[in-house]
Amino acid sequence: MNFLQSLADRERVFDFLAPAASPVDVRHGPILYLEDVSVSFDGFKAIDALNLTIDDGELRCIIGPNGAGKTTMMDIITGKTRPDAGSAWFGSRHDLLTMNEPEIASLGIGRKFQKPTVFEALTVFENLELAMAADKRILPTLTARLTGEVCERIEEVLATIGLIELRQAPAGILSHGQKQWLEIGMLLMQRPRLLLVDEPVAGMTEQEMERTAELLTGLAGKGKQSVVVVEHDMGFVRSIARTVTVLHQGSVLAEGSMERVASDPKVVEVYLGVEGEVA
Ligand code: ADP
Ligand code: MG
**CB within 8 Å of 257: residues ≥ 6 apart:** 241, 242, 243, 244
Question: What is this structure's pTM?
Answer: 0.86
* Rounded CA separation 202/114 (Å): 8
Return the CATH number at 32.
3.40.50.300
What's the structural domain count of the chain?
Answer: 1
Please give the full DSSP string across 141-176, using - where no structure is assigned.
-TTSPPPHHHHHHHHHHHHHTT-GGGTTSBGGGS-H
Confirm whether 199 is domain-assigned.
yes
> Which amino acid makes up residue 273?
G
Confirm whether 133 is domain-assigned.
yes
By most ligand atoms within 8 Å of CB, the mutation choice from 50, 71, 231 for ligand 1 is 71
Which residue blocks in the chain are alpha helix, DSSP H?
3-17, 70-77, 101-106, 124-132, 148-160, 176-188, 206-219, 234-240, 258-262, 265-267, 273-275
Confirm whether 277 is domain-assigned.
no
Confirm whether 279 is domain-assigned.
no
Confirm whether 276 is domain-assigned.
no
CA of 69 to the centre of ligand 2 (A): 7
By most ligand atoms within 8 Å of CB, the mutation choice from 37, 72, 73, 84 for ligand 1 is 72
In order along its 279 residues, the chain shows pLDDT tens digits of 444 444 444 444 444 444 444 688 988 899 999 999 999 999 999 999 999 999 999 999 999 988 999 999 999 999 999 999 999 999 999 999 999 999 999 999 999 987 778 999 999 999 999 887 654 543 444 545 567 788 889 999 999 999 999 999 999 999 999 999 999 999 999 899 999 999 999 899 999 999 999 999 999 998 889 999 999 888 899 999 789 999 999 999 999 999 999 899 999 888 755 554 444
**φ/ψ (deg, to 5) at 34:** -110, 130
Confirm whether 278 is domain-assigned.
no
> Closest ligand to 75 CA?
1
Confirm whether 94 is domain-assigned.
yes
Range of the structural domain that residue 158 is part of: 3-271
Confirm whether 213 is domain-assigned.
yes
Q: Which atom of ligand 1 is nearest to the CA of 69?
A: 6
Determine which residue's CA is closest to atom 5 belonging to ligand 1: 69
Quote helix, strand, coil % in the chain, to nearest 5.
40, 25, 40
**φ/ψ (deg, to 5) at 191:** 50, 60
Return the axis-axis angle of helices 148-160 and 206-219, rounded to nearest 10°. 130
CA of 40 to the centre of ligand 1 (A): 9
Determine which residue's CA is closest to atom 22 belonging to ligand 1: 41
